[in-house]
Each structure stands twice: as structure tokens, then as C-alpha cells.
Amino acid sequence: MIAPWLGETWTRLVGLGERLPHALLFVGPTGLGKRALAEALAARLLCDAPAADGRACGHCAACQWRLSGNHPDLHVVIPAADAEEADAGEGEAAREQGATKAKSSQIVIEQIRELQSALTVTGHHSARRVIVLDPAEAMNAFTANALLKLLEEPPAGCVFVLVSSAPRRLLPTIRSRCQQWAFARPDEAALAHWRAHAGKDAAALLAVGGGMPLAAERLAEAGGAALLDRFVRDLERLEPPGALRLAGQWEAWLKAKESAAAGFGLPQLIGWMQRWVSDLVALRLGGRVRFFPAQEGLLSALASRTSVASASNCYNEFNQIGRVAQHPLNLRLVLEDMLLRYVKVMTGARE
């Protein structure tokens, strides 16, 4: 599905026709629909008879093949952990494997080698082969270099679509091989349209998620409203001496199966904390809350306990934590650190 706010980007992509470069890089924040657009483009390129608006027809032999997940000329390269997520609940074998061995959250060198050997064979159905790689930043230097070789000397008919929400973490040589497409957040009009059709939960989760509609929708469907409730309740009750205890509870919370199933992990939790504190700063400066409109009363009470300096300092510290906490060595320590910094804010007015 192509998100409504990506319609214009889609039209421009389709408009390139034969001038489409052999390597594209879609960049922009998570939750905008970059991956879905990459897959729609792949589908179009492989389809025997695309529709007038450029979309794959969904009926031809190539589309049937693709829809059954078996198109030999479509290569979706994603970390094993993401593939497992997509298959969740689909069979005993996958679950058993998952239980015995934690899947990699990185794209590993074997995947690029497999891709390389698959691409040395000519296309099966048509002359075209499409490779969707997401997230492109999830590769170590060796793997990235192997991919770079493919990009430098692409086998005939190949189109690479790389997707990244952190393009600065890509090798500059990979970036320069790709035509970059920056995906911006939807504007207010597009969001208003989306809100009118989304449920109440999705709208609340959109506010705290920083304006990424698809991420909010996914989270709402997976019970995100309950997660948000708990987050607010925990912070409402938190008194400074309870910070370490709450860190322990949050560790268990993040490790619970339900949280993983909802795609709710440390990065999301840190994001919520950042926006929570950002709202405190806004209130302290005499502004309005932006991310937690339903909690304005509680936030105002909390804001009266802090100072602008203390809260904005904490906000900057959370930014730092967010940058290094993608794959923390010790989840508990990150949570303790974050909550201790936060409770310091609550005593900041006296500083």
C-alpha cells in the first residue's frame, strides 16, 4: 500500500520510467511508509502490465508469483530478526528456532553473498531483478563493502532499493552510489486527513510517536494504547526514591512478549521519555504541550516542580541516550540511568 502522503513521491518515481537509476536510497524517519513504497516499486518493476497509475496489476503471472512470496527476481534483504517478526505465529519451526537462537538484528555478510550468487544467474521471469534492502544501515563494514561491490558493478537489469532511517550510518561510498530520495514527514493537511480516518488510539499514539502515522497505526493495532496508559501511570506515581525500582519493572515490561509483539522496545520508550520531558520544557516556558495533550494537567503539575534549565538539560541527555541505545549491552543500566536523570528533573526547581 502506498501511504497517501507519499502519492507525489510515487508519481515522480513512476515518471522516471526507463531513466530510473539502478540504485535508489529511500531515507526518512521510521513509520512513514518507505519500505512499503520500496515494495510497491519492486512490484511495479516486476509486473507484466502495470496499471495507469503505475502500480502493479496484481493479476499477471509475475504478480501472482510475487504475492505468493516466491518471485525469483525479487530479493528482499532484511535482518533475520525482522523476518522472524513478520512470520510470528506462523509455524512451529520458526518459533523453535527463535527459542534456541536469538536472531540477528543485522544484515549479515552471508545474506549479501547469497544475493550476489543469486544475481549472477540471469533473471527468471523477466530481464529485471529488484533488490529491496532494509534497513541499509544495519550492516557492519565487511557486509557493507560486499554490497558496495554489487552496487559498483550491478548485474544487468538490477534495481537496488535501499531503505534507511539513519543514512549517516551508511558508508559514504554506498550513499554516493545511490540516488537519494528524502521522505519528509507528512504535512498538517495530510495528517489531519489521516487522523479523520484513524482510530482514537492511533491519533493519541501519533502525538507521542512524533508524527509517524504508520508507526502509530501499527502500535495502536498491537495494543499500544495500554502501553501508553501504563507509561503515563508509572510516571504519575514515580517519586524520586522509586526510580531504580521502576527501572526494574520497565526492564521486565520491555522484555515481555506483548511488548515485542507490538514493536515496543527501548528506542520507543526513550522517545516517549524525550517527548514527555520536551512537554515539561514547553510548559515551563509558558507554552502548550505538544506530544501528550491528554496529560496536560499532570504535566503542568510536574512542570511546577522543575526548572527550564534542569528539564532541557535532561532532554539533551535523553537525546544522547537515544543515540547509543539501539542495542544496549545492559538494558537495565540504560533504564536506571534514564530514570535517575529524570527524577533529578523533578527536584530541579530547587537548584
Rank residues 63 and 325 by Cβ distance to Zn ion and give the closer one.
63
Cβ at position 43, least distance to Zn ion in Å? 8
Rank residues 44 and 284 by Cβ distance to Zn ion and give the closer one.
44
Cβ at position 51, least distance to Zn ion in Å? 8
Within 206-245, which residues bind Zn ion (CB under 5 A)? Answer: none
Q: Is 28 helix (H, G, I), strand (E, B) or coil?
A: coil
Residue span 168-187 as binding mask against Zn ion, x where in contact by CB under 5 A, dash where not? --------------------
Rank residues 62 and 207 by Cβ distance to Zn ion and give the closer one.
62
- Give CA–CA dist 283/300, Å, rounded: 7
Rank residues 27 and 56 by Cβ distance to Zn ion and give the closer one.
56
Within 29-48, which residues bind Zn ion (CB under 5 A)? Answer: 47
Q: Is the dihedral of CA 195, 198, 200, 203 positive or negative?
A: negative
Rank residues 64 and 176 by Cβ distance to Zn ion and give the closer one.
64
Burial (CB count within 10 angstroms: exposed 0-12, middle 13-18, buried 19+), residue 324: exposed
Strand blocks (E) in the chain: 23-27, 74-77, 129-133, 158-164, 179-182
Residue 54 touches Zn ion, criterion: CB under 5 A: no
Which residues 6+ apart lie within 8 Å of 351 measured at CB?
307, 309, 310
How many chain residues interact with Zn ion (CB under 5 A)?
Answer: 5
For residues 213 and 231, the answer to whether their CB atoms sit within 8 Å is no
Span of 13-21, 49-57, 239-247, 255-263 interacting with Zn ion by CB under 5 A? 49-57
For residues 57 and 48, the answer to whether their CB atoms sit within 8 Å is yes
Cβ at position 74, least distance to Zn ion in Å? 12
- Give CA–CA dist 20/72, Å, rounded: 21
Rank residues 47 and 314 by Cβ distance to Zn ion and give the closer one.
47
Within 55-94, which residues bind Zn ion (CB under 5 A)? Answer: 56-57, 60, 63
Rank residues 13 and 302 by Cβ distance to Zn ion and give the closer one.
13
- Give CA–CA dist 182/295, Å, rounded: 33
Cβ at position 46, least distance to Zn ion in Å? 8
What is the Cα gyration radius of the chain?
A: 22
Of the candidates 38, 39, 62, the residue with the CA atom closest to the CA atom of residue 49: 62
Residues that bind Zn ion (CB under 5 A): 47, 56-57, 60, 63
